[in-house]
A and B are shown apart, each in its own frame.
Chain A
């Protein structure tokens, strides 16, 4: 949902002036996350030296003890991308105890990473996300946002939670400033595609140090006409996955697996794919954290969905060092080595340095 940049910049500026970066008052809360990031690559197929950042402004409001709302605006100026977007916009109503209904634009519940990790760099141990879930610069290849109606709740003492959602389909029709195609959510019942639906169930132990979740999403995706897809095409996409997490003393380990099946509508063509990551972090002391992540994807070279994104089999070794200056500022350094396995593409190594901050 790209909206007029000037208006948004004026709106952001006005809101920030009015809020004077002060926190909460009564039932409205305003905050701003941001970061500045520089990067340089060796052997990259294109000039990937860059600097940029993200400003992530949000405001929440409690209308009463049962109704809340959130608006999140993101200004993204990373990797040649420059865009102001409504990232999340939702209204939630507590219907009965332990059961909520929400309507709006959300992060899709494709695993814990995409639910919890946002454009707010301060909340993330690493500079980058697993590459197929990357929000920065529109780099992800999964439907990371949805617009629709969500029901969610918990059982018992909140150790089991669930979510079901009906949402619009997805469309790949926009090319960002970096020349990449990006995937955008459609409003429920808009367009000619069928509505999509998602579900997720999460189990965690009593102190939340361990969790296991299963999730699925079924959605139609309209592919852009042109190269590499010569005629209008819709793919019916199914994503099923699992994610687990365990916190043990100073160690934290998380892993997610995604099975993807893209069925071309009005055709017998069907293309499976798989993606996964495993990440482990070690908290050396209260300020320093070390993280390593291995992420990979395996796709069918003939799958038109992944052809649009020029996505080929690849794996990423990512290592990060994070230093927390205080609760509101952190510095991160990252190495990202990309192995393109059987592809003719040259393996690359990227260095990134980031300052992440919060004004509350």
Chain B
């Protein structure tokens, strides 16, 4: 019998004050690729976890659908053409939760075990995995 690996359940969160209640994977993809800056008419700021993070890798594989060199090349072109930059990076899931809860209009993705009462879930990657 092989050992069971703990796989994080990744969710997208925002502060309870933010007037966003539901988002689609496409909306998140567009926002993380800087193709759109508004979701439900709310200007949204976003943040990333480090490239080494499993949570980030799940989010980018399933939602953003770009990773590694492909993502680097995408940003190289985007930065060159316009005035867009990749999201800022924070080190931990807890920092994402803290950053999101500080101000309305911020969203981030985290392992759902870090959720607290100051944030709400607006998207779950489990809906993409089909194990809702």
Chain A positions near chain B (C-beta within 8 angstroms): 23-24, 27, 29, 31, 33, 58, 60, 62, 68, 70, 72, 92, 97, 100, 116, 118, 120, 122-123, 157-158, 208, 326-328, 358, 360
Verify A58–B38 contact, CB threshold 8 A.
Answer: no
Could you jot down 11 A-B contacts, CB within 8 Å?
A: A31-B76, A58-B80, A72-B80, A118-B80, A118-B81, A120-B80, A122-B77, A123-B80, A157-B38, A358-B73, A360-B72
Verify B38–A158 contact, CB threshold 8 A.
Answer: yes
Is B21 part of the contact surface with A, judged by Cβ < 8 Å?
Answer: no
Give the secondary structure class of B's interface.
helix
The answer, among A24, A116, A326, A358, for a CB contact under 8 Å with B81, is A116
Measured CB to CB, the nearest residue on chain B to A32 is B76
Further pairs besides A31-B80, A327-B74: 13, Cβ < 8 Å: A31-B76, A68-B85, A97-B43, A100-B83, A118-B80, A123-B77, A123-B80, A157-B38, A158-B36, A208-B35, A358-B77, A360-B73, A360-B76
Measured CB to CB, the nearest residue on chain A to B40 is A157
In angstroms, Cα B24 to Cα A1, docked, is 47
Verify A92–B80 contact, CB threshold 8 A.
Answer: no
Chain B residue contacts of A358, Cβ below 8 A: 73, 76-77
In angstroms, Cα B77 to Cα A58, docked, is 11
Interface residues in B, total, Cβ within 8 A: 20
Is B25 part of the contact surface with A, judged by Cβ < 8 Å?
Answer: no
Chain B residue contacts of A33, Cβ below 8 A: 80
In angstroms, Cα B38 to Cα A97, docked, is 12
In angstroms, Cα B81 to Cα A60, docked, is 11
Verify B76–A23 contact, CB threshold 8 A.
Answer: yes
Measured CB to CB, the nearest residue on chain A to B77 is A123
Verify A327–B86 contact, CB threshold 8 A.
Answer: no
The answer, among B35, B37, B70, for a CB contact under 8 Å with A327, is B70
Chain A residue contacts of B36, Cβ below 8 A: 157-158
In angstroms, Cα B73 to Cα A328, docked, is 6
The answer, among A122, A157, A327, for a CB contact under 8 Å with B41, is A157
In angstroms, Cα B35 to Cα A186, docked, is 34
Measured CB to CB, the nearest residue on chain A to B26 is A207
In angstroms, Cα B74 to Cα A122, docked, is 12
How far, in Å, is B87 (CB) from chain A's closest CB?
Answer: 12
Chain A residue contacts of B99, Cβ below 8 A: none
Verify A60–B79 contact, CB threshold 8 A.
Answer: yes
How far, in Å, is A75 (CB) from chain B's closest CB?
Answer: 16
Verify A158–B69 contact, CB threshold 8 A.
Answer: no
Is B75 part of the contact surface with A, judged by Cβ < 8 Å?
Answer: yes
Known contacts A31-B80, A33-B80: does B75 contact A23 (CB below 8 Å)?
yes
Q: Which of B70, B72, B75 has the most CB of A within 10 A?
A: B72
In angstroms, Cα B72 to Cα A68, docked, is 20
The answer, among B72, B80, B83, for a CB contact under 8 Å with A23, is B72
Verify B79–A62 contact, CB threshold 8 A.
Answer: no
In angstroms, Cα B82 to Cα A120, docked, is 13
Which residues of B from 32 to 63 have beta carbons under 8 Å from A? 35-38, 41, 43
Those 3 A-B pairs whose CB atoms lie nearest each other, nearest first: A360-B76, A327-B73, A31-B76
Chain A residue contacts of B41, Cβ below 8 A: 157
Chain B residue contacts of A58, Cβ below 8 A: 79-80
Q: Which of B80, B83, B85 has the most CB of A within 10 A?
A: B80
Q: Which of B76, B79, B86 has the most CB of A within 10 A?
A: B76
In angstroms, Cα B25 to Cα A184, docked, is 46
In angstroms, Cα B73 to Cα A97, docked, is 28
